[in-house]
Amino acid sequence: MTIAIDYDDTYTVDPDFWNEFIMSAQRRGHEVVVVTARPDNDETRCEMRGVFDIWEVAVYCSGDEPKAHYARRKGLAVDVWIDDSPGWIVGIT
């Protein structure tokens, strides 16, 4: 199962909780990725690497594109979305 977690106002609300979640999911064989609506630029990539490289979690930056559309375009099949603003997933904001 591939689980996509939003970063701002989801992961950032309780990083310790999400780190435990990520470790547990990975131990059970699930893939965890981060899909954020942040722009794909050097600043975002640098910040995300500092947070997620330890967990070997891929980070996808959709910018203004709806997250589900962006993920499909990138060949990423997400089974479960975790997001404080689910409208960003499908483009209803």
The domain limits of the chain are 2-90
**Predicted local distance difference test score (pLDDT) of residue 93:** 67
What residues form DSSP beta bridges with 81? 4
* The pLDDT of residue 55: 87
Band of pLDDT at residue 32, cut at 50, 70 and 90: very high
- Model-level pTM? 0.94
Mean pLDDT of 71-90: 97
Nearest CA to 59 out of 22, 5, 14 is that of 5
What's the whole-number mean pLDDT along residues 55-77? 96
User: Does residue 12 carry a pLDDT above 90?
Assistant: yes
Q: Decide: 83 and 89 in contact? Cβ < 8 Å.
A: yes
**79 Cβ contact partners less than 8 Å away, ≥ 6 residues apart:** 1, 2, 3
Mean pLDDT of all residues in 45-71: 94
